[in-house]
Amino acid sequence: MHTLSTTDFLVFFVYFVIIVGYGFWIYKRKQKESLNSQDYFLAEGSLTWWAIGASLIASNISAEQFIGMSGSGFKMGIAIATYEWMSAAVLILVAVFFMPVYLKNKISTMPQYLKKRYNGQVAMIMAVFWLMLYVFVNLTAILYLGALAISSISGLNLFFCMAFLAIFAVIITLGGMKVIGFTDVIQVFFLILGGLVTTYLAVDLVAKEFGGSGVWDGLSYLKSQAGDHFHMIFDKSNSNYMDLPGLSVLIGGMLIINLNYWGCNQYITQRALGADLKTARGGILFAAFLKLLMPVIVVLPGIAAYVLYQNGHFQTEMLQGGELNPDRAYPVLLNLLPSGLKGLSFAALTAAIVASLAGKANSIATIFTLDIYQTKIKPEASEKTLVNVGKISIVVAMLIAMAVSPFIGIDKKGGFQYIQEYTGFVSPGIFAMFIFGFFWKKTTSNAALFATIGGFLFSILLKFFPLFVSLKGLNPLGFAVKNANGVYEIPFIDRMGFVFVLCAIGMIIISLRESKRGVVPNAMEIDRSMFRLSNGFIVGMLVILSLLVALYTIFW
């Protein structure tokens, strides 16, 4: 059984004291000011650009990235980094086009946007849907996969790890978004420092394996020993094409995944909704820079583990149930670290998990309190009552996640795949509803409902369509490929792109027909001046885009 040494626990304890102590100091400072619901849920006017950027990354990076993406790095290599690097490009789009619309129209929650743009029915349907998704898919997956990872590294009981993570996250979350935002800065420091240490030592192990030393020798050996793991774009002959289907990761469904996640997601956009436009854009640009760095932390260790495994190392440690499990790569590497450094990396992993849990719990509380409780249950509720309801809903959501997470098969699917599978059925329709609502004034409420419900039905249809048609009937279109079980299936990312196109066509047809009948939809307040960019933002944007072009050119 793997355990942490006394030194490791001491390092981790220092991290814990710093986070809780700093959070409590922020909370006590905030108590001296009058606290209202907007301040509690959004930290209105309180977060700086660097706090917003750090909080975006801390909330995004969790166990499914450290464990799942390292596992994917072991299995398929640098190509999985497209999730991170495409995020950097999409964050720029969100900063330029999405944030001005939200801030100009004083949007606090995503259901509030839908109510203002469409109607209360669309908003309430999506509020309930997002609550269910966040509690029963996202929160449970983060909590369970995080506890599983920590348990495998430390040797501590799984339920104890789950309870510790939940309580730690609740302590931070009860202080509101300002406490979350500023403690996330420290969480990101530990996350990046610990992650880089793990990567350095993993790459150095590879160097020593082949008679070299240092990170540059290690990187050179990685390239020579696992050349097939350094390609970003797969062709159909690649066994991983089902997960990352060729150019679709650049111009297809991967854009839908990222635009929906970063631009239409309460969990993410909430960090910037309490700031002015300049601060929000600065924070999002900072997050885009950090995104370029993430594959070094969450993908390279997996490739290093693959090379070491191919050369005879940890042949039994990588097995689970007698079969090779790539998701074991990161925990195995952490267990090779020396005392003290293992504690630092353990703190980094914990920081990623706790920050994501806190951010998700706060979003759950925000939607429930402002979009359901205040709207439908008690419209006359005082500010103090709204804040208290938010705190209660945080605790309840965490208890529900603890109760159900061991029973819904997250460990069998893998956390990353689990979240993608269930959110991917609705993401194309939701994104279509948002993007048309932003930029096409004729979009109607019925068109939005069509995208919400039709997008889900189209996803189900295309998921199982290959099962009901012959190979000759489908394969000439070039969409279906054999999955791991030998069954023809449309790759998940391609399927999302097709569903988005179908939703868009349906929305256009419905909106034009209703326009002819005299239906006048609600519209958002938009003018060209909203989208003007500062010189500093333009320079940062060009640097990021240039780096992305260079990375994809080098690793194509």
DSSP H helical ranges for 239-276: 248-251, 253-263, 266-269
Confidence of residue 476 (pLDDT cuts 50, 70, 90): very low
Give the pairing of strands 319-320 and 323-324.
antiparallel
Q: How confident is the model at residue 35 (pLDDT cuts 50, 70, 90)?
A: low
Tokens of residue 73, six digits: 């790095």
* Of the candidates 531, 547, 71, 555, the residue with the CA atom closest to the CA atom of residue 290: 547
Q: Can you tell me the distance from the alpha carbon of 497 to that of 134, in angstroms, rounded to the nearest whole number?
A: 23
More reliable by pLDDT, 527 or 207:
207
Band of residue 504 on the pLDDT scale cut at 50, 70, 90? very high
CA distances from 354 to 2, 255, 359 (A): 22, 27, 9
The pairs formed by 229-233 with CB atoms below 8 angstroms and a separation of 24 or more are: 229/73, 229/76, 229/77, 229/78, 229/303, 229/306, 230/77, 230/78, 230/555, 231/77, 231/78, 231/79, 231/555, 231/556, 232/78, 232/79, 232/81, 232/82, 232/552, 232/555, 232/556, 233/79, 233/556
Nearest to 456 by CA among 491, 494, 417, 428: 428
The domains found in the chain, sorted by start residue, are 6-48+62-80+106-248+293-408 (1.20.1730.10), 425-525 (no CATH)
Tokens of 336: 């090779």
Rounded distance, CA 284 to CA 94, Å? Answer: 8
DSSP string, 409-442: THHHH-HHHHHHHHHHTTHHHHHHHHHHHHH-TT
Residue 268 contacts residue 261 (beta carbons within 8 Å): yes
What tokens does 271 get? Answer: 């960090």
196's tokens? 């880089």
Note the pLDDT tens digit of each residue in 125-144.
Answer: 888 888 888 888 788 888 88
pLDDT of residue 473: 47
Share of the chain above pLDDT 90, in %: 13
Looking at residue 472, its pLDDT comes to 46
Give the phi and the psi of residue 290 in degrees, each rounded to 5.
-65, -30
507 vs 179, higher pLDDT: 507
Are 339 and 7 in contact by the 8 Å Cβ rule? The answer is yes
* pLDDT tens-digit series, residues 450-467: 998 888 888 888 877 665
> Residues 435-454: what's their mean pLDDT?
89
Question: Closest Cα partner for 248 from 507, 63, 501, 547?
Answer: 501
Among 402-406, 425-429, 547-551, the range with the most confident prediction by mean pLDDT is: 547-551
What is the chain's mean pLDDT, rounded? 81
Q: Give residue 471's pLDDT.
A: 47
- 39 neighbors 269 (Cβ within 8 angstroms): no
Closest CA to 219 of 554, 546, 552, 544: 554
As given in the structure block, the two tokens for residue 113 are 């946007």
As a 3-state breakdown, the chain gives helix, strand, coil percent values, each rounded to 5, of 75, 0, 20
More confident residue, 141 or 502: 502
Q: Structure pTM?
A: 0.83
Residue 294 CA to residue 456 CA, distance in Å, equals 31
Residue 415 pLDDT more than 60?
A: no
Q: Which of 264, 277, 273 is nearest to 532 (CA)?
A: 277
Percent of the chain with pLDDT over 70: 88
Q: Which tens digit of pLDDT belongs to each residue from 232-290?
A: 888 877 777 777 777 777 887 888 888 888 888 877 777 777 778 898 899 999 999 99
Question: What angle (nearest 5°) sits at the alpha carbon of residue 100, between those of residues 95 and 104?
Answer: 155
As beta bridge partners, residue 489 has 481
Element (H, E) at 482: strand 481-482
